[in-house]
Amino acid sequence: MTLRTLFLNHSATVGGAEFGLIDLAAHLRDGALVVLLEDGPLRERLEERGVEVKIVDAGAVHRVRRGSMLPGAAALASLWRAGREVARIAGDFDVLHANSQKALVVGSIVAKRVPIPMVWQLHDIIERPWFSRTNILADVLLANHCAERVIAVSRATAESLVRHGGDASRVHVVYNGIDPAPSSAATGAGRDCRQELGLADVPVVGCFSRLAEWKGQHVVLEAMRELHGVHVLLVGGPLFDEHAYEARLRAYVREHGMEDRVHFLGHRRNVAELMRAVDLLVHPSTAPEPFARTLIEGMLAGHAPIASANGGVPELITHGETGYLFPPGDAVALRQLVARLLDDVDELARVSAQALEHAHRDFSLSAFVTNVESHLRAAAASRPAGAWRGRAHEVPA
């Protein structure tokens, strides 16, 4: 039986949480509608996969940041208006999937007005100082009283919610699944990428994420400063208010004479090919990572990823077996690890092969969408018999 799912995401920027949404909505697209609270690249990505999208303008909502104490009156009014607008179309669906924290707020308004069962997919580790006390309190209250279930992307993510008072009986861990097709299709493309970048005969370390201070690209630059023959690819650009961080990275590169071997590639669509082009993949986050899709994508590209040991990362990597861990922010430890692995190709090949098997076995896309769908169906089954349903949704041309 077709599951009529209303997906809700506040942002139209494409990040880790949105990649999972794209895969999930595409799997359920026959009965799905995705509502975005702004227009942007995510709409295009969804429509490329045959998913219907509706834009509901949320105005001032996007000016509220995670660490802010309280949203302003304009933002609160925008949240209420967005919830009222989404509620008008929600009655024709079986379940509401809220894919972000702001979506949880809007979705809670919808869930109570219609009513419709809501599932919140939690992609963040909600801890101070990254989230204000007000943010954390709101998340816990809404999750406990408005969501039928919470799907957490890692144990670390789930535990952060429960630690602050979240109802453990509602929280379920489902690891993200990654489609191996892009990486498989990119086999052999790495050599071409290296030729195009002029890096055919040099060791290359790659870092694949948006440019943000907590993502730790500065740690990689500090670590590579003394490894004079090693080139660095920084794949990804700044989002939100992070352009100043990119400027600081570029200034560091100039100050230390690294311009000829640090390559800022910006946002790219050919990430799978670029992953095949590097010798080592490093993920150096200084703040706890909820999941880090990049690590699994790297494994599928044939890497034993090197990552900071924080958040959900140790759930994905066993040190020396499916990748390597180092203390967050420790550039010296990272430098030593990179130098050793570039010299020990046999060990690197062994661990990379184990990582590839691990990614296929434990992080399959089919298992991810099946598990999330089962939680959505369980939530939908909680809807009272005879609950009101509105008219079929209409998506403007």
* Residue range 30-76, pLDDT digits in tens: 999 999 999 999 999 999 999 999 999 887 665 555 555 456 667 77
C-beta neighbour count of 37 within 10 angstroms: 25
Whether residue 115 has a cis bond before it, omega within 30° of 0? yes
CA–CA distances in Å: residue 359 to residues 156, 180, 372: 19, 9, 18
The per-residue DSSP string of 119-169 comes to EEEE-S---TTTS-HHHHHHHHHHHHHH-SEEEESSHHHHHHHHHTT--GG
Q: How do residues 243-287 score in pLDDT, each as one tens digit?
A: 999 999 999 999 999 999 999 999 998 999 999 999 999 999 999
Q: How do residues 335-392 score in pLDDT, each as one tens digit?
A: 999 999 999 999 999 999 999 999 999 999 999 999 999 999 999 998 754 444 444 3
Which tokens hold the place of 145? Answer: 């009283």
C-beta neighbour count of 377 within 10 angstroms: 14
> What is the per-residue pLDDT for 63?
56
Give me the domains of the chain, ranges plus CATH numbers. 5-177+364-380 (3.40.50.2000), 181-362 (3.40.50.2000)
**Rounded distance, CA 163 to CA 126, Å?**
10
What is the value of pTM for the model shown?
0.90
- Rounded to 5, what percent of the chain is helix, strand, coil? 50, 15, 40
Does position 395 have pLDDT exceeding 50, yes or no? no
